[in-house]
Structure 1
Amino acid sequence: MTDQLPIPHDRRTSDAPDSAHPMRGAGARRRFLIGTLLVNLAALSIDFAVLDAPHLAFALGLRLLLVTPLVLLALVLNRRPDDRAMQSAVQATAVVAFALSVTAIGQFAPEPFAGRYMMAALFVIFAGALVSALSWPATKIMTVTGTVLYILITVTGLRWPPAWTNIDLVGLCIVTCVIALRARQRKDAQIAELEAIRRSDARLKRDLRQANAALERLSATDALTGVFNRRYLDELIEQEAASIVPSLGQSVLMIDVDHFKLFNDHGGHAAGDRCLQQIVTAVRRNLRSCDVVVRYGGEEFAVVLPGLDEAELHETAERLCHAVSDLKIPHPGLGGGRVVTISVGIAPAIPAETLADAIQRADQSLYRAKRAGRNRVSV
């Protein structure tokens, strides 16, 4: 109804925190995959510089026919968020393939480049665990698988019978695997904590906005009758005055409860409060949802009715008078079976007239209705 209309000034804030974007993880995976692809292709220059022809062909096959297609496939699948399991499987496979290709190429590179290939492969395993943006289960499988295969390639040297060399790298690889997984766990815990803080902050901001909105409604609402108060009407007038759009005019009714001071003197203020509440309920029941009821004074009310012509406005005013008299609230100050009534002043809309001027005209009409004997409508 009328007391549920929004307050005149929009004071809503725009500080709601950004919710977790559904493509944020996809973006991180895409950046990681592009970086992997670029590093894999850039490493070809090192392969050309340090490998002999047969082993260079082996390196080209691994990089261009195994790693590159897997990374490209992972990038394609990354654009399909409905197939997360396949995404994770292909991306994890691409990372493992990249690490193992570097490890395998390192078996045939001359020193000191062979050791650098092996260390680079460990870095790939570590970086994959930390920044690949895969889920924790997929990260564990990828890291452990890469570590086991790295150890097998390192100790066998890709020869038969196995060379059983570089045993010292096994311990370093295991340590790298453990550190990578622990670092990933710590990173996930920090991210979870930050997300919890963000959610808590969002709830606090939402609660604050709701509390502010409730305070705004309370500050614009009359506590006794539940309709808008004079402050709200003043803000409507100020807002209209500040607008650069020409006013179409507003139809206004001014309502006064007849002989209300006498009612309070004989019936008491508690009875007077109940009387006003009953009257407001009857008035609101006979108005539209877009009509604004304001408690203008103690027993005086203003009603702003947009879009009504003079005939409709007069009909509404008469309906309100009958609705209040039909309540048959006994008037203790008048006696003789007399009931509480209202007088209504009408101010039909005039284009380009301000709301303040319309209220003043309606107040003058109300004065004429009271001088004419009350319980009536006057234009």
Structure 2
Amino acid sequence: MFAFTVLLILSLTGVHMATNKRDIRQETEVRLGVTMILDLHYMTHLRHSSHMTRYLKTFLNAVQLRFSDMTDPKIKLILTDVILINAAEQEKLYDKYYVLMNTIYGSWTRSNSEYKFPQNAGIILIMTGFDLWNADPLTGDMTNSGEVNGACTQNKKNIALSEDDGLTFSGVGSAAQAIARLLGASFDIDRPSGECSRDKGYLLSSNYTGVSARYNLSDCGKNEIKQAIYASDEKRKNCFFGEPTIQSSVSQVKESQELPIDFYNYTNPCNLVYGSPSCKRAWKKVDGCKLECCLKEGGNKTVNKHDGAPCKDGICSNGECIPDPRIIKNLKEN
């Protein structure tokens, strides 16, 4: 009778008993810890530590936009650590002298790599400055690599690779592809015709290139991620839904919702990418999320406006106008 009375009082006062690891009702938002390893080619663009961490946090915010239409579960990417490697460590990371070959084939994600990767990380993202797209002798055509459903697992399966120039956020699509794969999504290239087929242009419509017409995943990709996460064992779910540990070097840089448009203080993307002006000088007032650049040597090129640039129905992501998840989140919290 006493135990029943206590439980009744707790329920009436709104107090709930704690679970062992996490409240099952909170399993609506994945809080995926991301450890970033920067190779030597990548670090040449990111010399100042505070600028580096700010760039990487903004980079992850832009990647997160690619998952912003997912609600079950929501995906939040949290930068937990940044590791700068030296020449000796890079040799171990990429298996000594076969740097490009082993990077492209992804052998560093398996037994060949002698590098000691951090343990108990959600995912590990190797940021490389190597030009994988034009790599010899394999003709390139890829900018990232990651194993399907490897997030929050061991045996180096939670490791992915992404090419980025460390300047223009060029690798956002590549990292988004790699992370989607780690979360359990497959490429759309082999799907039958329909809403998830390759010709719809979703994030995983191309193999490893990081290039897509649409900013987000197909419904098939979203469902694969949902099934992979909810089918996980208890330990893996704790990794997905628990609070990741953030290293002090990263936590010193204030958490922000900054996106590339904020990072560059509204710099004209044509100037940044091509060193040329946009064809219309008042580029901020140009409708949509794409901009035409008038090249100095003649001819025109079309670029996407920076992720986060305002547009009619929200903000830009990968050249598409999407709802601003920051506003949606603030409205829900208030």
TM category, shorter? under 0.3
The structure richer in helix per residue is 1
Q: Normalising by structure 1, what TM-score?
A: 0.20
Using the size of structure 2 for normalisation, the TM-score is 0.22
